[in-house]
Amino acid sequence: MHIPICIAAGGPKSARLAGRYGDGLITSAFALRKDRNVKTAWEGGVRDAGLDPTIAPIIVEQWAAIGEKQDEEVRAAANKWRFVPKAWNHGFFDNISPESIQTNAEKEITLEKVLEDWTVSKDARAHSKAIQHLFDLGATHVVVHVATPKQKEAIEFFGKNVLPGVWNN
């Protein structure tokens, strides 16, 4: 039995390798939206392996918050994920201390920088549109990462209000 192994990549070089050696791509919404070369390089790697990229999954993580960028709860959530814009930079990925990572992130990364890559809105249509855009760019699966302690409410909001807007497009 073959267990599919999807490989994460955020840039063209790693995406090509992920395509060549993996069964699918895992990437961020930011990478897929900002650098079309990520998907193109991955497809090239899949073809290098003698496979068809149209049948392999592209799994994309989309960060989201329900609210407005100035809401206290949204900013508190963004603060907990403050390291993400530089997660793969020296001093972050190679640091084993969560406290040190957070301290460095608070010094180097503004909350506005974190939130610029998230879909932040109370309007379900904004979230539906962001997810649909990822599908339009080639995503086959979207993982919505809603940073909130109110997970039940977030799941209900997306299930009742956001997903029907994606499915009905």
122-143 average pLDDT score: 96
Q: How do 24-28 and 58-65 pair as beta strands? A: parallel
CA distance 16 to 75: 35
Q: What is the pLDDT of residue 169?
A: 60
Whether the per-residue pLDDT at 155 is higher than 70: the answer is yes
Q: What residue type is assigned to position 66 of the chain?
A: I
pTM for the whole structure: 0.89
Give me the residue label for tokens 């932040």.
120
